[in-house]
Structure 1
Amino acid sequence: MKRIDVHCHAVAPGYRQYAIDNGHERPDGMPALPAWSPEQHIALMERLDIDKSILSITSPGTHLTLGHDVDAARMTRRANEDLSEICRSHPTHFAFFASLPLPAVEESVAEIDYALDVLGSVGFAVLSNANGVYLGDEALEPVFEKLNARRAVVFIHPTTCNLLGDDGQVQPAKPLSNYPRPMMEFMFDETRAVANLLLSGTVARYPDITYIMSHCGCALPSLLDRIGGFAAITGGAASQGDDLRRLLRERFYFDLAGFPFPNQIHGLLRILGEGGEERLVYGTDYPFTPEKVAVSLADQLDKGCEELFDDVQRQAVYSGNAQKLLISRINHK
């Protein structure tokens, strides 16, 4: 079946050098920034029958030094322009999610209009936290107001848990530091961010934003009842479990990058209920997931989806849901 890959990344030369210059040659405890080129990516797409890949910049993002907002805005603009140029050079293969220089609010608001109106992005890739400021923080309210006004698609990607101290310094949290943080810590950090989006009321206040949560919902399905239960205990009646589930079903899509099979997928589908396959989209996480592993995971996904879904449902998961969400935006560029 044809596929649309909503979770994949580009490592353009300018961004690669920027990350290395700022101490991220081994991002988040990984061995290195992977090699990437449009040609390599297209070869994988042909191998996996992928019609369209939605490129994005991944962790650690484009704001690498707290307080250097001007530099971050400049690098974010360059990264977005690079992705836009790649898409213009390969229009049948690629579209892109633009980055934002969060937590810089004014600069991020300005980048939203430029990315959509000038560069032709189909949405925005944001990290679970930006230098310790988590999605759902009241400081980011103007950014979400603008995203809502533009009816934006927001793709959430995990990153290292960063702690913002009283002294204004950012300290990455590195428990079990002998393991790369994408192995476990990423899953907890995105869960933390989405929980904060829900509990803070951000999702409810801005109903015209559509979110894509990565990695099959991370740890959220397992914790949702606990989060909702504690919200009720502490007085947040509007954030009880049923309300949280409703918002997830109505406002979120969930990509299947990573290891959703054989076990993780079942918790997410239980949360989403009947028709839950209509909220699933395909993802490879290439090139941070190497080609050989991406192919193996695609085989696992094929087998798992054949057990869970009929042909019509599988087509929706592989491409139909993403097409409804994104392709009209691509064609409107």
Structure 2
Amino acid sequence: MGSSPARIDVHHHVVPPAYADLLKDKGIRPGGVDVPSWTAERALRLMDRNGIATSILSLSTPGAWFGDDRQARRTAREVNDYAAGVVADHPHRFGFFATLTLPDLAGALAEAEYALDSLGADGIVLLSNVAGCYPYEKDLEPLLAYLHARRAVVFLHPGELPAEPAPGIPSFTADFLLDTVRAATGLVLSGALEKYDGIRWILSHAGGFLPYIAHRVLLTMIRDEPRLAQAKAMVARKRERERRLDVLRRFYFDVALSSTPHALPSLLSFADPTHVLYGSDYPFAPAPAVRFMRQEYEDIALKRRQRAAIDRTNALGLFPRIAGRTTP
């Protein structure tokens, strides 16, 4: 057991009032839930009660694009300016991932440059898909090339599956996890993860169920190789299999809604131990859920150094602005 007063929460959603009104006007319930309210003051109280020193703010699904590129550019700019204002007011408590305008590529490139250079964004948030367009698709390669050159941290958050939800099951329950796996697997199979290895990708919710199906992804990776190479990857020594799987370990994983006695051991048995990060999913996970998941996490037996790495030190390598501060 144990808690850290210095946690860095990489999965904390900002909900600007104007954006909340926009979603309500459009009748959108993100992930199948009502749009939550958010204020910096309530967020800070939640953080203090859960040992969180700094939260990196991000916009959740559905992002900024609703079918109109001009509106998406206005919405992304408003959201990013709002988030930057929160950070300016509380520079030691918040950072932010900038929202882009995908699938509007030109707008996304312009907004990424503005947010990183003018607003000092700590990274970029991308949805696993927008209108059925996934980040690894060829049309979006210029954006990946730009983010690679900037050595950007990219927080990959699930979007709605490009399909109707199953009756009676909110999309956040299972569809979000599947779409994260789709996007991450696509980055691997397309070669984009290795080609643009300057990008540090954070996968939400422990990567969905990616660690659990890592060997299925391995079989997909080698399906077109000669039989001898396939056999070597499957039946040779463990070292060869693990070498093939190391590409998946380039991802970072947050533990938002996944810090449980069943999910966390699966993640920790697979992930690079320096690539696991704390996350709360507030306010879409309301305060009681954040507290419950944090308590579940603290009840799991971890070595002190391992817990400190998840709570804070792993994140410090991604966020130089935060690393440059005095530890709270």
TM-score (norm 1): 0.88
The question of whether the paired residues in 1 share the 8 Å contact of 2:128 and 2:156 is answered with yes
The question of whether the paired residues in 2 share the 8 Å contact of 1:102 and 1:108 is answered with yes
Deviation string 1:122-150 (CA, Å, 9 cap, x unpaired) is 00111100111012111110010110111
Alpha-carbon distance between aligned partners in 1 of 2:274 and 2:89, rounded to the nearest angstrom: 32
Alpha-carbon distance between aligned partners in 2 of 1:75 and 1:131, rounded to the nearest angstrom: 17
1:23 correspondence with 2:16:
no
1:290 correspondence with 2:286:
yes
5 Å matches for 1:136-155? Answer: 136-155=136-155
**AA in 2 matched with 1:218:** G
State the 1:231 CA deviation.
2.8
| Match for residue 192 of structure 1 among 182, 187, 193 | 182
Alpha-carbon distance between aligned partners in 2 of 1:260 and 1:244, rounded to the nearest angstrom: 27
Alpha-carbon distance between aligned partners in 2 of 1:225 and 1:288, rounded to the nearest angstrom: 31
Unpaired segments ≥5 residues, structure 1: 163-171
Counterpart of 1:73 in structure 2 is 73
1:302 correspondence with 2:298:
yes
SS at match of 1:8: strand
Deviation string 1:251-274 (CA, Å, 9 cap, x unpaired) is 3211010033111122222223xx
**AA in 1 matched with 2:252:** Y
**AA in 1 matched with 2:112:** I
1:259 correspondence with 2:258:
yes
5 Å matches for 1:1-333? Answer: 1=4, 2-24=6-28, 26-30=29-33, 32-65=34-67, 68-162=68-162, 172-174=163-165, 176-235=166-225, 242=242, 245-249=245-249, 251-272=250-271, 276-304=272-300, 307=301, 309-328=302-321, 331=324
Alpha-carbon distance between aligned partners in 2 of 1:209 and 1:55, rounded to the nearest angstrom: 19
State the 1:235 CA deviation.
4.1
The question of whether the paired residues in 2 share the 8 Å contact of 1:160 and 1:173 is answered with no
**AA in 2 matched with 1:280:** V
**AA in 1 matched with 2:276:** L
State the 1:227 CA deviation.
1.9
Matched residue count: 310
Alpha-carbon distance change, 123 to 212 in structure 1, aligned in 2, over 3 angstroms: same
Counterpart of 2:236 in structure 1 is none
Give the percent of matched residue pairs that are identical in Structure 1 and Structure 2.
Answer: 36
SS at match of 2:198: coil
RMSD in angstroms over aligned alpha carbons? 1.9
Alpha-carbon distance between aligned partners in 1 of 2:99 and 2:268, rounded to the nearest angstrom: 29
Alpha-carbon distance between aligned partners in 2 of 1:94 and 1:216, rounded to the nearest angstrom: 22
State the 1:244 CA deviation.
5.4
TM-score (norm 2): 0.90
Deviation string 1:199-236 (CA, Å, 9 cap, x unpaired) is 00101111111011111121111222112212322349
Alpha-carbon distance between aligned partners in 1 of 2:84 and 2:21, rounded to the nearest angstrom: 18
State the 1:47 CA deviation.
0.6
**AA in 2 matched with 1:314:** R
Deviation string 1:41-79 (CA, Å, 9 cap, x unpaired) is 0001111121101000001111122xx112111111111
Alpha-carbon distance between aligned partners in 1 of 2:225 and 2:70, rounded to the nearest angstrom: 40
Moved more, 188-197 or 227-236: 227-236
**AA in 1 matched with 2:164:** A
Alpha-carbon distance change, 72 to 290 in structure 1, aligned in 2, over 3 angstroms: same
State the 1:115 CA deviation.
0.4
Alpha-carbon distance between aligned partners in 2 of 1:310 and 1:96, rounded to the nearest angstrom: 30
Alpha-carbon distance change, 331 to 19 in structure 1, aligned in 2, over 3 angstroms: farther
Alpha-carbon distance change, 135 to 318 in structure 1, aligned in 2, over 3 angstroms: same
**AA in 2 matched with 1:17:** D
Alpha-carbon distance between aligned partners in 2 of 1:331 and 1:111, rounded to the nearest angstrom: 26
